[in-house]
Structure 1
Amino acid sequence: MEVFPMKKVLLLTLFFVCILLNGCSQQTSNESASDEVYVMDINNWQPSTHHYAYNAWEPWKKMVEEKTNGRVKVNIYHGSALGKSSSVYQDIKGGLYDVSLLVTNYFYDTPFFPYTIGSLPFALQGPVEANKVLSKFEDRFADKGLDNVILMPPTSTDAYDLFSTTPIHTMEDLQNKKMRMSGKGENAFIQSLGGTPVSITSEGIYEGLEKGMIDTAFYTPIGGEAVRYYEPAPYITQMSVLVNPLIPVMNKNFYDQLPPDLQKLFTEELNPALSEMFTKSYVTELAASNEQLEKAVEKRGEYIKLSTEEDIKYREAGKGAWELWIEDANKRGFDGDEMVEAFFEILREEDYPLPFEN
């Protein structure tokens, strides 16, 4: 009569032991997951002396490692050590590295095409404006085919001026000049100016100017000062002609392997913080860069300001690039006119100037 109660006691004991062991196993598993260190490789295609490094990548590395309590270790590779700016999209998709900064104009013929509207002549004036306008624009037009990478909020460079080996005071001075273009959107504009487009990445501009492969290059004052484009091209014409939209991007597999709490941290805090660091870097560096450039060319070149009449001429010349962009948008299945009108409407909502009256 006492056998059955003893069996029950043994069964109950085994049952509770199993529960206890399972709980310990889950706790160990959770502790193991929280203790795992994830290594993030960043490709900075600019040199370590560039403002990208000391105003964005290095502070973000510190923020990531602190906010994750060391669960994410960040390695930064400067100077295109892991890949050039022109291959960021392919490299990020392929997992060559985990995070970098993508110049949308270099990827005109990819799903990043909608963002290239921001690089059209006089479309935007700087990174603060780009963040506000492109964030609204992407919600309507830039969500197709980009689910294979993690996109951070958009920003942009500061507005481009013209670095030249000879003085450029009027549009006539650009006739037959070999002019560097960074993407298809600049091609029509350069041709409208009377120049000859030459495709060279950011990394090749200095050598191109120095060796005569190009005569001019549109580039940001901040970036141009940092990498000394004024040495081979000491004639700088202030134009604020365009910006290049920028998007920090992350490898999706890297993001997907992270536990939910770290994914949330990157999505809600760390990724937006990186975009903001790039935006602030351009804003804070601009005034100082203009002053330094003016001093740098004082005895060897010239710092040129366009007249109002010349500015109007450049804006008129820029219309051809917009018309070409609309045609390209239509070929890609978009309504190009609708996209431009929506872009202009966002500019009006944000009280920003239009590139021209449409």
Structure 2
Amino acid sequence: MQFKMALTACTLAIASLAAPAQAQDVTLKVHFHLPQTSYASTLFIQPWCEKIAKESNNKMKCQIYPSMQLGGTPPQLFDQVRDGVADVVWTLPGYTAGRFPSLEAFELPFMMQKPEATSRALWEYAQIHSQKEFKDVHPLAFHVHGPGVFHMTGKPVKTMADLRGLKMRAPTRLTNKFIAMLGATPVSMPVPQVGDALSKGVIDGAVVPYEVVPSVKIQELVKYHSETDPAAAAFYTSTFLFAMNKAKYESLPPDLKKVIDANSGEALSGQIGKAFVQADAEGKKLTANNTTNVIAATELATWQKLGDKLSADWIKDMSGKGLDGKKMLDDAKSLIAKQAAKTTP
């Protein structure tokens, strides 16, 4: 009888020890700065969450917190995922100027033409040059958005002279520098602040891709949209990070880690870039009642010279930080070209 009771107790003890090792349902808190109705949410974040739920047999699900619902400001998203305030975030490293210098190679003027190919290249590049900067998180994807567009309240942009003296919103350190070189006064702010700044006349225009239009109702706040020549590289793009808390990832059982791994990396980065092309097309439809123009290639050639100077200055800046800026920029260009050659339009 005593032996039977001891055996039962032993069995219960083993069961209690084994219980935590069994796959438990996992809920990932996903935090980002745009509304849940934004294209970033509907074309990328929500589908990703649905996919990992399906492939994990619903053992792993997302709890989505759009519009900074977990608190803080957009520039704090990286720290939130690092510290475990959120399990997954989508953010722009460029919102914290100078903190992630390696990725700036992709934010220099006239680097990006195909978002899918450039996003794949960015993932590859980050594995070479950005490991140290992102060692405290588990990156899921790096990507870029589509071509930046000038959205103006008072007049279209046709030449550099049209920007002189205007206050222009720009997202990142290098884009702000380039806007200043073009003659405007740059005003740095995250996307959620753009609508209010336009409506109050704090800025005369903003550079964002068409994808952002519905998130801040830009089509209702401006009259003009000035694109750069679609046959040329974009005058700017921004880099993005989709990342998971490192401890959260490492705590996952092997089967769930496998699901995350299958939905991360170069392929996911390219898929997001492709989704942003679709988002741009949808966002542009909303501007149909406004006036749109394309800045001529001949005009952009002058801009390119300024872009080349900014690139040279950036290389010197990186050297001052102990980084090989020339190697970084050369690698970025070669990876973009390689990916563009094998990515369908």
Q: What TM bracket, shorter-length normalisation?
A: 0.7 to 0.9
Structure 1 pair 39–351 and aligned structure 2 pair: CA distance change class (3 A): closer
Please tell me the residue identity of whatever aligns with 1:161.
V
Q: Which residue of 1 aligns with 2:289?
A: 296
- Once the 2 structures are TM-superposed, how far is the Cα of residue 250 of structure 1 from its aligned partner? 0.8
Q: Which residue of 1 aligns with 2:212?
A: 223
* Structure 2 residue ranges without an equivalent (≥5): 229-233
Q: Quick one: distance in 2 between partners of 1:274 and 1:292? A: 27
Structure 1 pair 266–304 and aligned structure 2 pair: CA distance change class (3 A): same
CA contact (8 A) 2:116 2:269 kept: no
Name the SS of the counterpart of 1:41 in structure 2.
Answer: strand
Answering whether residue 166 of structure 2 is matched by residue 177 of structure 1, we say: yes
Q: How does 1:336-347 map to 2 (within 5 A)?
A: 336-347=325-336
CA contact (8 A) 1:126 1:157 kept: no
- Once the 2 structures are TM-superposed, how far is the Cα of residue 65 of structure 1 from its aligned partner? 2.4
- Once the 2 structures are TM-superposed, how far is the Cα of residue 42 of structure 1 from its aligned partner? 0.8
Q: Quick one: distance in 2 between partners of 1:328 and 1:117? A: 12
Q: Quick one: distance in 1 between partners of 2:122 and 2:251? A: 29
Answering whether residue 279 of structure 2 is matched by residue 285 of structure 1, we say: yes
Instruction: Report Cα offsets for 1:278-313 as digits up to 9, x if no partner.
Output: 3332122333333432x131xxxx201112211212
Q: Quick one: distance in 2 between partners of 1:274 and 1:75? A: 20
Q: How does 1:115-126 map to 2 (within 5 A)?
A: 115-126=103-114
Q: Which residue of 2 aligns with 1:50?
A: 38
CA contact (8 A) 2:150 2:208 kept: yes
Counterpart of 2:90 (choices 81, 86, 101) is 101
Q: Which residue of 1 aligns with 2:315?
A: 326
Q: Which residue of 2 aligns with 1:156?
A: 144
- Once the 2 structures are TM-superposed, how far is the Cα of residue 154 of structure 1 from its aligned partner? 1.5
- Once the 2 structures are TM-superposed, how far is the Cα of residue 23 of structure 1 from its aligned partner? 6.8
**What's the TM-score, normalizing by structure 2?**
0.87
Q: Which residue of 2 aligns with 1:198?
A: 187
**What's the TM-score, normalizing by structure 1?**
0.84
Higher relative contact order structure (alpha carbons within 8 Å, sequence separation ≥ 6):
2
Q: Quick one: distance in 1 between partners of 2:303 and 2:202? A: 24
Q: Quick one: distance in 1 between partners of 2:108 and 2:52? A: 34
CA contact (8 A) 2:90 2:242 kept: yes
Counterpart of 2:306 (choices 303, 313, 317) is 317
- Once the 2 structures are TM-superposed, how far is the Cα of residue 39 of structure 1 from its aligned partner? 2.3
Name the SS of the counterpart of 2:218 in structure 1.
Answer: coil
Instruction: Report Cα offsets for 1:6-47 as digits up to 9, x if no partner.
Output: xxxxxxx97x99899767754554454325222211113111
Q: Quick one: distance in 2 between partners of 1:318 and 1:105? A: 18
Most deviating of 189-198 and 309-318: 309-318
Structure 1 pair 278–85 and aligned structure 2 pair: CA distance change class (3 A): farther
Counterpart of 2:237 (choices 236, 243, 250) is 243
Name the SS of the counterpart of 1:155 in structure 2.
Answer: strand
Q: How does 1:204-215 map to 2 (within 5 A)?
A: 204-215=193-204
Instruction: Report Cα offsets for 1:198-230 as digits up to 9, x if no partner.
Output: 111111111111111111211001212443212
Please tell me the residue identity of whatever aligns with 1:296.
N
The number of residues matched between the two structures is 334
CA contact (8 A) 1:50 1:227 kept: no
Q: Quick one: distance in 1 between partners of 2:301 and 2:133? A: 38
Instruction: Report Cα offsets for 1:233-266 as digits up to 9, x if no partner.
Output: 2211002321111120111121122223222321
Q: Quick one: distance in 2 between partners of 1:160 and 1:88? A: 23
Counterpart of 1:263 (choices 243, 257, 261) is 257
Answering whether residue 33 of structure 2 is matched by residue 40 of structure 1, we say: no
Q: Quick one: distance in 2 between partners of 1:290 and 1:153? A: 25
- Once the 2 structures are TM-superposed, how far is the Cα of residue 197 of structure 1 from its aligned partner? 1.3
Please tell me the residue identity of whatever aligns with 1:327.
K
Q: Quick one: distance in 1 between partners of 2:163 and 2:33? A: 30
* Structure 1 residue ranges without an equivalent (≥5): 1-12, 353-358
Please tell me the residue identity of whatever aligns with 1:288.
E
Q: Quick one: distance in 1 between partners of 2:68 and 2:216? A: 14
Q: Quick one: distance in 2 between partners of 1:280 and 1:345? A: 20
Most deviating of 241-250 and 17-26: 17-26
Most deviating of 280-289 and 254-263: 280-289
Structure 1 pair 225–126 and aligned structure 2 pair: CA distance change class (3 A): farther
Counterpart of 1:68 (choices 37, 56, 59) is 56
Counterpart of 1:144 (choices 112, 132, 153) is 132
Rg larger in structure: 1
